[in-house]
């Protein structure tokens, strides 16, 4: 199946914040119906890559293809129009708005030019129910009053609401308890089984080996390896890729990344 065309294809993406180059010639592929894990140490550039895909940060150079077509994403609207949804690490919810208002933010349903509250509320409830969310008692609660896990749920539901083609989750389980983590992972798997291209960013190797079909490992702003997860893929391989950008015969060949950083 790995010879399938990727639904989202990034090639040679470069991104700097002032003098600091955060992404170097990054190639990254997302496949429909598969979970692609994106791993890397703190500051490797994972969140930045996601924000570039989302159109939150403009890229310096590089190409993005969606369904084989070259596209340019200049803002969050462009990304969502393509069917790309992101659940950010810093969830980016409006605490002063309620669950429904957050889920529909920027894409409100209107009736006669006015907000259609009841229809949005019903749709929000249906989506949350389809994710078998057990923890939310009211969709009219302000996000301010929700726990971390509940906020995570709302953020994911917000992405799922739009029948998206690609959903990117930036460390969705980092703040969750055991039961909720299992629930989110199951959800991730379900989304992929429904044909969505899912990207999962995580620091938890067990989690990745459990749900991911492929792994892209980032090391100091570069993609060190892009591998398929098989029976023989081990925790140790992944950890090596994260910490040194290399494991056995996969990974970065040269060491210049490190040299450039120290220079």
Partner 1 sequence: MTDTTTEVLADFALDTTAKSLGDVVSDAKARFKSGNLGSLPSVLAIITLVAIFGYANPDAFLTTSNLANLMGQASAVIVIAMAVTFVLLLGEIDLAAGFTAGVAATVMATRLADGWPLWQALAISALVAIALGMFTGYMVAKVGIPSFVVTLANFLSFQGILLLLVKDKGTLRVQSTPVKALVGGNLSPTLSWLLVAVGLTLFAWSLWRTMANSYGAVPRSLVLIKLGGAAAAAIMVTLLLNENRAFEKAKEQGTVIDGIPYVVPAIMVLLVLLTFLLTRTQYGRHLMAVGGNPEAARRAGINVQRIRLTAFGLCGLIAGIGGIFLASFVDSVDPNTGANDTLLLAVGAAVIGGTSLFGGKGRVLNAVLGGIVLALIPNGLPLVGQRSPFGIIDIDFSSSGVKFICAGLALLAASSVDALSRKGA
Ligand X SMILES: Nc1ncnc2c1ncn2[C@@H]1O[C@H](COP(=O)(O)OP(=O)(O)OP(=O)(O)O)[C@@H](O)[C@H]1O
Interacting residues toward partner 1 by CB under 8 A: 54, 56, 75-77, 80, 86, 88, 91-97, 101-102, 105-108, 110, 113-115, 117-118, 121, 125, 128-129, 133-134, 136-141, 144-145
Contact 199, 36 (CB under 8 A): yes
- CB-nearer residue toward partner 1: 93 or 205: 93
- CB-nearer residue toward Mg ion: 47 or 164: 47
Closest CB 134 distance from partner 1, rounded Å? 6
Residue 44 within binding range of ligand X, rule CB under 6 A: yes
Residue 175 interacting entry, from Mg ion, ligand X, partner 1, none, C-beta within 5 to 8 Å by type: none
Residues 6+ apart with CB under 8 A from 189: 35, 211
Residue 33 interacting entry, from Mg ion, ligand X, partner 1, none, C-beta within 5 to 8 Å by type: none
Residue 127 interacting entry, from ligand X, partner 1, Mg ion, none, C-beta within 5 to 8 Å by type: none
Half-sphere exposure of 16 (CA within 13 A, CB side): 6
How would DSSP label each residue in the chain? Answer: -TTSPPSEEEEEEEEEETTEEEEEEEEEEE-TT-EEEEEE-TTSSHHHHHHHHHTSS--SEEEEEETTEEE---SHHHHHHHTEEEE-SS----TTSBHHHHHTTTS--EETTEE-HHHHHHHHHHHHHHTT--S-S-TTSBGGGS-HHHHHHHHHHHHHTT--SEEEEESTTTT--HHHHHHHHHHHHHHHHTT-EEEEE-S-HHHHHHH-SEEEEEETTEEEEEEE--TT--HHHHHHHHHHSEETTEE-S--HHHHHHH-
Query: Of the candidates 42, 163, 206, 262, which one interacts with ligand X according to CB under 6 A?
Result: 42
Closest CB 53 distance from partner 1, rounded Å? 12
Query: Of the candidates 89, 127, 152, 164, which one interacts with Mg ion according to CB under 5 A?
Result: 89
Residue 29 interacting entry, from ligand X, partner 1, Mg ion, none, C-beta within 5 to 8 Å by type: none
Residue 22 within binding range of ligand X, rule CB under 6 A: yes
- CB-nearer residue toward partner 1: 87 or 242: 87
- CB-nearer residue toward ligand X: 46 or 165: 46
Binding span for Mg ion by CB under 5 A among 46-54, 138-146, 182-190, 227-235: 46-54
- Which residues bind to Mg ion, rule: CB under 5 A? 47, 89
- Which residues bind to ligand X, rule: CB under 6 A? 17, 20, 22, 40, 42-48, 89
């Amino acid at each position: 199946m790995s010879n399938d065309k990727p639904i989202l294809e990034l090639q040679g993406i470069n991104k700097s914040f002032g003098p600091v180059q955060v992404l170097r010639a990054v190639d990254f592929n997302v496949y429909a119906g598969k979970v692609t894990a994106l791993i890397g140490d703190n500051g490797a550039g994972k969140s930045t890559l996601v924000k570039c895909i989302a159109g939150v940060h403009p890229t310096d150079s590089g190409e993005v293809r969606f369904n084989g077509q070259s596209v340019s994403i200049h803002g969050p609207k462009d990304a969502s129009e393509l069917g790309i949804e992101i659940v950010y690490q810093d969830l980016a919810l409006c605490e002063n708005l309620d669950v429904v208002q957050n889920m529909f933010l920027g894409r409100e349903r209107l009736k006669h030019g006015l907000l259609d509250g009841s229809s949005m509320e019903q749709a929000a409830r249906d989506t949350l129910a389809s994710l078998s969310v057990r923890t939310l008692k009211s969709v009219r609660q302000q996000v301010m009053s929700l726990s971390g896990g509940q906020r995570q749920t709302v953020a994911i539901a917000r992405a799922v609401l739009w029948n998206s083609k690609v959903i990117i989750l930036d460390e969705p389980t980092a703040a969750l308890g055991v039961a909720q983590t299992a629930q989110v992972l199951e959800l991730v798997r379900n989304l992929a089984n429904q044909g969505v291209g899912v990207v999962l960013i995580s620091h938890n190797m067990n989690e990745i080996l459990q749900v991911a079909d492929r792994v892209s490992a980032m090391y100091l702003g570069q993609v060190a390896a892009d591998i398929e997860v098989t029976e023989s893929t081990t925790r140790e391989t992944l950890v090596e890729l994260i910490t040194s950008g290399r494991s056995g015969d996969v990974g970065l060949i040269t060491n210049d990344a490190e040299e450039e950083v120290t220079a």
